[in-house]
Amino acid sequence: MNSFSLTILGASGAVPVYGRFPSSQYLVIQNKHFLIDCGEGCQLQLARYEIPIHKIDHIFISHLHGDHYLGLTGLLFSMHLQKRKADLHLYSPPGLNEIILLQLKYSRSVLNYSLHFHSFDPTQKYQLLENDALTVETIPLFHKLPCAGFLFKEKPKQRRIDKEQLIKGMLLQHIVALKTGQDVFDEQGKLLYKNEDFTLAPKRSLSYAYCSDTAFFEPIIDQIDEVDLLYHEATFMDEEEAKANETKHSTARQAAEVARRSRAKRLLIGHFSARYKDLEPLLAEAKSVFENSSLAIEGQTFTIEA
C-alpha cells in the first residue's frame, strides 16, 4: 500500500441509501493506520475491503450526530471477539465516552483491550496527536452540532540515501548517520563522508484535511492552505443552497470554492444527500469551480504522491 493513502468506506449523508454508507474513512500514513468517523455499517465495509482492523490504533470522530459514530460500538465488540490486545485511542467531542461506557455497562461487557478516550472542544483548534511521522489537529467547523474536521500533516522527512554513491565497505552506522543528515567523521575528527555527496533531498511532506459536516466556513481556509488532499462535505447542489444554509451543510459549489481558495491540490466531495441517486451532477458542479475534484466513492483508494 502507498505510504499515504485514503480509502472511502462511507460517503452518504444522514442515512444509508443506493448502496452508499454513512461517513467513514480509512487513512494510512507511513504504515500508521487511522479510522475517521465510524458511521453505521463501517465494520461491514472494513471487512468487504479486507482492511486489517487490528492495525487501527486511533479513531477520530468529528461530532456526535449518529451517522458519524453509530458503527463504533459494533466495531469495538468485534475487535474484542477477535482477541484484540492493543490499546485503542478514541478522539471526539465530549460525550462519546458516556455513550460507549453505558453500552458496555448494560451488556456487562469487559473488553480484552484498553480504550483511551480523548475529548476535545470542537470549537477550538487542538493538536490531538503527534508521533515520529505526523501530527493531527482539529479543524473547527460550522454545523448544527459542534463539529471538527481533522488535519493530518507529515513531519519533515529524512534525507534519502543515494545508493549509487555508496562506497564498498561503508559501515551501517555511517549510512544511518548520513540518512539523518549528518556528516561522518573518524575518531580523530577527520571528515570521512560529506552528507550531500551520498544523499538525496528528502521527499516532500504531505497533508490531508477531512472537513466533515459544515456550512461554508471561511475560517478554515487559512488552516488548510495548500493541503495535498481535501475532503469536504457536499451534501447538496447549488439549487438547494437555502436547504444547505438551514441545515448547516455545504453545496458542491461551496466545497469547490473552499478548495480553490485554500489552494488545495485535490478535492474529494462526499456526505451526499439521499435525494441524489446520480452523483455526476454534483461532481460537474464542483468541477466548474475547481477542476481537480472527485467523488468520494465507497471502495476507492486515493493515494497522495510526494
Torsions phi, psi for 77 (to 5 deg): -70, -35
Report how far apart the first and last C-alpha atoms of the chain are (Å, whole number). 15
List the domains of the chain with CATH numbers: 4-157+203-303 (3.60.15.10), 160-200 (no CATH)
Question: Residue 230 forms beta bridges with which residues?
Answer: 209, 267
Q: CB under 8 Å to 171, separation ≥6 — which residues? A: none
Q: Is 67 a catalytic residue?
A: yes
Judge if pTM exceeds 0.85: yes
Angle at which helices 72-81 and 96-106 pack, to 10 degrees? 50
Residues 302, 288: Cα–Cα separation, whole Å: 21
pLDDT by residue for the chain (306 residues), tens digit each?
458 999 999 999 999 999 999 999 999 999 999 999 999 999 999 999 999 999 999 999 999 999 999 999 999 999 999 999 999 999 999 999 999 999 999 999 999 999 999 999 999 999 999 999 999 999 999 999 999 999 999 999 888 887 887 888 788 888 888 888 888 888 888 888 888 878 888 889 999 999 999 999 999 999 999 999 999 999 999 999 999 999 999 999 999 999 999 999 999 999 999 999 999 999 999 999 999 999 999 999 999 988
Write down how long the chain is: 306
Q: Which of 37, 57, 67, 87 is catalytic?
A: 67
